[in-house]
Chain A
Amino acid sequence: MKPELVDILVPNKKDRRHLISLLQQVQYKFGYIPKEAMLAIADFLEIPESTVYGIATFYNLFRFTPLGKHPVKVCMGTACHLAGGKLVLEAMARELDIQVGGITSDQEFSLDRVACVGCCALAPVVVVSDSVYPRMTPPKVEEVLVTVKPVSQEQPEKH
Chain B
Amino acid sequence: MTFEEIQKQAKSNWDSQYHGKAPHILIGTATCGRAAGALPVVEAFSNELAKRNARAKVTEVGCIGLCSFEPLVTIIKPSSFTVCYNNATPQVVPTLVEGYVLGDDPCLDLALGTLDGGDGKAVYIPELSRFEHEYRLLLRNCGYIDPGNINHYIANGGYSSLAMALQMEPDTIVGEIKKSGLRGRGGAGFPTGRKWQQCREASGQTKYIICNADEGDPGAFMDRVVLESDPQQVIEGMVIAAYAVGSHDGFIYIRAEYPLAIERLQVALEQAKNLGLLGDNILGSGFSFDIEIVEGAGAFVSGESTALMYAIEGRRSMPRARPPHSVKAGLWGKPTVLNNVKTYAYVPLILARGADWFSGIGTEGSKGTAAFALAGKMVNTGLAEVAMGTTLHELIFDIGGGIRSGKKFKAVQIGGPSGGCLPESMLRTAVDFDSLRKAGAIMGSGGVIAMDEDNCMVDTAKFFLDFIQKESCGKCSTCRIGSKQMLDMLEDITVGKGKIEDIDWLVEVGQDISGGSLCGLGRTAPNPALTTIRYFRDEYEAHILEKRCPALVCKELIAYYILPEKCERACEHCVLSCPVKAITTNEKGIKVIDQSKCTKCGSCQLVCPPEYNAVIRLSPPSLVPVSGAKTQE
Using CB atoms and an 8 Å cutoff, list the residues of chain A in contact with chain B.
16-21, 23-24, 54-55, 58-62, 76-84, 87, 90-91, 94-95, 114-123, 125, 132, 134, 137-139
Lowest 10 A-B CB distances belong to which pairs? A121-B67, A77-B218, A59-B297, A120-B375, A121-B381, A116-B218, A61-B298, A132-B35, A60-B298, A78-B219
Partner of B413 from the list A17, A59, A78, A118 (CB cut-off 8 Å) is: A78
Which B-chain residue is minimally distant from A90 (CB atoms)?
B601
Which B-chain residue is minimally distant from A60 (CB atoms)?
B298
Q: Are B603 and A116 in contact (CB under 8 A)?
A: no
Within 279-302 of B, Cβ neighbours of A (below 8 Å) are at: 294-300
- Total cross-chain contacts (CB, 8 A): 146
Q: Are A118 and B297 in contact (CB under 8 A)?
A: no
Taken together as a complex, chains A and B put the C-alpha atoms of A80 and B467 apart, in Å, by 13
18 pairs, A vs B, C-beta closer than 8 Å: A58-B473, A59-B298, A62-B298, A78-B376, A78-B413, A78-B447, A79-B218, A79-B219, A79-B375, A81-B218, A116-B216, A118-B32, A118-B258, A119-B32, A120-B221, A120-B373, A121-B67, A125-B35
Q: Are B606 and A62 in contact (CB under 8 A)?
A: no
Which has the most chain A C-beta neighbours within 10 Å: B36, B375, B473, B577? B375
- Decide: A120 near B297, CB < 8 A? Known: A54-B316, A87-B602, A138-B602: no
Cβ proximity bits B249-262 to A, threshold 8 Å, 1 near / 0 not: 00000001110000
Check if B31 is an interface residue, CB within 8 A of chain A: yes
Which A-chain residue is minimally distant from B295 (CB atoms)?
A24
Q: Which of B44-52, B76-84, B188-196, B307-315 contacts A (4 or more CB under 8 A)?
A: B307-315
Size of interface on B: residues with Cβ below 8 Å to A: 60
B299: which A residues are within 8 A, CB to CB? 58-60
Least CB distance from A148 to B in Å reads 16
Q: Are B449 and A118 in contact (CB under 8 A)?
A: no
- Decide: A82 near B312, CB < 8 A? Known: A117-B257, A122-B32: no
Q: Are B601 and A87 in contact (CB under 8 A)?
A: yes
Which has the most chain B C-beta neighbours within 10 Å: A116, A137, A139? A116
Q: Are A61 and B463 in contact (CB under 8 A)?
A: no
Q: Are B381 and A120 in contact (CB under 8 A)?
A: yes
Taken together as a complex, chains A and B put the C-alpha atoms of A104 and B579 apart, in Å, by 19
Which B-chain residue is minimally distant from A57 (CB atoms)?
B316
Taken together as a complex, chains A and B put the C-alpha atoms of A83 and B450 apart, in Å, by 11
Q: Are A114 and B36 in contact (CB under 8 A)?
A: no
- Decide: A20 near B314, CB < 8 A? Known: A78-B413, A121-B381: yes
B463: which A residues are within 8 A, CB to CB? 78, 81
